[in-house]
């Protein structure tokens, strides 16, 4: 299956992508995760990426496109498909993706748009905490760790992503509205778009998405 998850930051794209990827054995490609790994590595590219991310603005298209195309060219993609999470985010990226897929003789099966209210987004992102050691994700109200600030799984220290602080979240939402929202029409015109509510609980949303796959004969 070849899938794009579209929606504002905080819609739960990453959460759904991980569950879908594990259950259906489809590679998960998250540009945000790739960039955070590069940042952690301390490389020159990582340092440059961190500057964009910490301001809540988009990384330039040429850098993002190069990284995604490289990943899509690997052997597992032809065989197993992919779940793109956080890419494309601009019309230029969407066009580059179309061309790259054409070159690989592949096409998208579905684009899932996770429409989400601002209230949910702010609540989810500003309350999100991540384990420094194992990457497990918590929420201070919805999924709190047993001991404040400490990971239940590995005792690692929990931290808040720099770009999950309220001012940066507001900036990310503004950027989303300016640059990513137009992709909804782009994919609607291509008759690939399915809209779901990103306000739903993880399990409920998963069930809705799974039903779409069944109806489209993708399972
Ligand atoms: P995310 O985890 O998807 O919210 O991504 C975190 C940050 O990485 C974003 O705020 C952007 O700075 C950057 N980023 C991720 N994906 C893209 C993309 N497709 N295009 C440009 N910047 C991106």
pLDDT digits (tens, 9 = 90+) for 160-198: 999 999 999 999 999 999 999 999 999 999 999 999 999
Which of 16, 32, 49 has most ligand 1 atoms within 8 Å of CB, for mutation? 32
Q: Which atom of ligand 1 is nearest to the CA of 175?
A: 10
- How do the domains of the chain map onto residue ranges? 2-117+166-215
Average pLDDT over residues 120-140: 95
Q: Which atom of ligand 1 is nearest to the CA of 86?
A: 3
Percent of the chain with pLDDT over 70: 100
Q: What DSSP letter does each residue of 38-73 carry, written as one string?
A: HHHHT-HHHHHHHHHHHHTPPPPHHHHHHHHHHHHT
Does the pLDDT value for residue 86 go beyond 90? yes
Does the reported pTM lie above 0.75?
A: yes
Does the pLDDT value for residue 219 go beyond 90? no
The CATH classification of domain 2-117+166-215, taken from the options 3.40.50.300, 3.30.499.10, 3.40.50.2300, 1.10.10.1100: 3.40.50.300
Q: Please pick, among 115, 161, 165, 171, the residue that the annotation labels catalytic.
A: 161
For residue 115, the SS3 value is strand
């Amino acid at each position: 299956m070849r899938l794009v998850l579209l929606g504002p930051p905080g819609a739960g794209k990453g959460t759904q992508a991980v569950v879908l990827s594990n259950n259906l054995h489809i590679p998960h490609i998250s540009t945000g995760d790739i960039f955070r790994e590069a940042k952690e590595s301390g490389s020159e590219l990582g340092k440059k990426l961190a500057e964009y991310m910490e301001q809540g603005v988009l990384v330039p298209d040429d850098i993002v496109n190069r990284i995604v195309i490289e990943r899509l060219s690997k052997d597992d993609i032809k065989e197993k498909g992919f779940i793109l999470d956080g890419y494309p985010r601009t019309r230029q990226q969407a066009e580059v993706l179309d061309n790259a897929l054409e070159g690989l003789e592949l096409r998208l099966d579905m684009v899932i748009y996770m429409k989400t209210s601002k209230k949910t987004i702010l609540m989810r992102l500003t309350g999100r905490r991540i384990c420094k050691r194992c990457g497990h994700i918590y929420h201070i109200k919805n999924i709190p760790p047993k001991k404040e600030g400490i990971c239940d799984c590995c005792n690692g220290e929990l931290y808040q992503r720099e770009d999950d602080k309220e001012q940066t979240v507001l900036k990310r939402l503004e950027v989303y509205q300016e640059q990513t929202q137009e992709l909804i029409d782009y994919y609607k015109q291509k008759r690939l778009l399915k809209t779901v509510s990103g306000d739903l609980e993880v399990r409920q949303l998963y069930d809705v998405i799974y039903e779409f796959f069944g109806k489209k004969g993708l399972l």
